[in-house]
Amino acid sequence: MIVARTRVVDEYAEDGEAVVLLADGQVIALSPLASSVLGELAEGPQTLETLAARLVAEYGAPPGDADAVDTTRGVVDELAAQGLLVSSP
Amino acid sequence: MTASSTARPTVAVSALGVRVDVDLPDHAVAESFARAWEACLQPDNGDCVDMRAHVTGEDLAEHSPDSALELLTQRVTIEAIGARAGQLLMFHACALADDAGRAVVMVGPSGTGKTTMARTHGRRWRYVTDETAAIDVDGALLAYPKPLSVSREGSVKAQVSPGDAGLRVAREPLRVAKVLLLERREEPVDVEVRPVGTVPAIARLAEHTSYLARMERPLARIARLLHDTGDLLTVQYAEAADLTPLLADLLGEGESAR
């Protein structure tokens, strides 16, 4: 799966928190994890696996037996539902 | 006001720094309109603003005077906001100021009671606006002392000038001292004030703006406002008068306490 950012009209970050303005006027405050995902994709699309590996490097492995790629997919799906990411198989 | 008896009357008002020429359906409506907008009348000889807009009320001849005035007031605000899109940070808010020009901007959705808030406190402090708080790129707040929409019997509201409502009108220059986000409750509650950090505050405030996406770096503009004025405060309350102590904290005691 390839994950890419959609175009945002504006974004603002301060103290590790970020907020983005979408073209439809919606403004969304992002969690630190969501900010990191968007930050990792700032340079261009990534595969889900690469994205997961980078998040593990930043935050460590997800707790328990959770799989990093599955956890990342969950975050990506959430951000895609908000219109911040698109993914293609 | 052009008082020719044959031509349709026109009244020029100043709204958010825009000269809005308003065509009125007849002289009676023109007179009522000019009275309601007395705090915003554009002097015929002075054209100090460089933006113009036009509102026509010619289609309103069949409306009752109150209904025509209500629609015209809405049209003036819509035109002015549209003309300043991309330039001003514009909140759906009422605002009050002290005599020195320090202002509290109270942001809230329709139905929060912004007009009631302005009427309740605009004698003790000064009336800036009951609808649109507009801040320019230098951080100056524009006075927009439009008529207040006051409920009469039925669904139509009367447009009352701030002077006729007994309010003192704020004069520019104005600076924002504090931004509040109003959360009015129907049931009686104690006033509760909570600070909100900058980034979540931007998201909360953005919901109550006009044409945000048309601005250059709008989120940083909101952030700058919050850096200049301290944390956004959400204010839970039931009655406008409940906020007197908070406003006195933010703006000083005002007129009646002297």
Q: Which of A7, A8, A14 to mutate to test the interface with B (most CBs of B within 10 A)?
A: A14
Find, in chain A, the residue whose alpha carbon is nearest to that of B221: A12
Residues B174/B97, Cβ–Cβ less than 8 Å: yes
Alpha-carbon separation of residue A84 from A16, A42, B60, B252 (angstroms):
18, 12, 45, 44
State the pLDDT at residue B258. 46
* pLDDT range class, residue A15, cuts 50, 70, 90: confident
* pLDDT range class, residue B48, cuts 50, 70, 90: low
B218 and A21 in contact by Cβ < 8 A? yes
Q: Which two tokens stand for residue B226?
A: 């919050």
Q: Which two tokens stand for residue B243?
A: 């906020």
**Would an 8 Å CB–CB cutoff place B89 in contact with chain A?**
no
* pLDDT range class, residue A89, cuts 50, 70, 90: confident
> DSSP assignment, residue A20?
E
Answer yes or no: is pLDDT of B175 > 80. Answer: yes
| CA distance to partner chain B, nearest, from residue A34 (Å) | 14
**Average of pLDDT values for B206-235?**
96
Q: Which of B90, B196, B199, B231 to mutate to test the interface with A (most CBs of A within 10 A)?
A: B199
B8, with CB counted inside 10 A (0-12, 13-18, 19+), is middle
Task: Report chain A's mean pLDDT, rounded to a whole number.
Answer: 92
What is the percent of chain B where pLDDT is above 70? 93
Q: Please name which of A73, A1, A78, A13 lies closest in space to residue A42, comparing C-alpha atoms.
A: A13
| CA distance to partner chain B, nearest, from residue A83 (Å) | 16
Distance from the Cα of residue B236 to its chain's centroid: 21
pLDDT in tens, B110-145: 888 999 999 999 999 999 999 999 999 999 999 999
- Least reliable range by pLDDT among A58-67, B146-155, B173-182, B194-203: B146-155
Answer yes or no: is pLDDT of B35 > 70. Answer: yes
Q: Between residues 193 and 212 of chain B, which touch chain A (CB distance below 8 Å)?
A: 197-200, 202-203, 206-207, 212
Residues B57/B27, Cβ–Cβ less than 8 Å: no
| CA distance to partner chain A, nearest, from residue B217 (Å) | 6
**Average of pLDDT values for A32-48?**
92
Q: Which of B219, B226, B231 to mutate to test the interface with A (most CBs of A within 10 A)?
A: B219
The Cα–Cα gap between B132 and B252 comes to: 23
Q: Please name which of B73, B82, B83 lies closest in space to residue B51, comparing C-alpha atoms.
A: B83
A21, A23, A25 member nearest B219 (Cβ)? A21
Alpha helices in B103-242 (DSSP H): 114-121, 198-206, 218-229
Beta bridge partners of B73: none
Q: Taking the model in full, what pTM does it have? A: 0.91
Q: Which two tokens stand for residue A76?
A: 């990506």
Q: Which two tokens stand for residue A55?
A: 């998040």
* pLDDT range class, residue B5, cuts 50, 70, 90: low
Three-class SS state of B215: coil
A14, A25, A28 member nearest B203 (Cβ)? A28
Element (H, E) at B192: strand B192-196
Give contacts of A17 with chain B, Cβ < 8 Å. 197-200
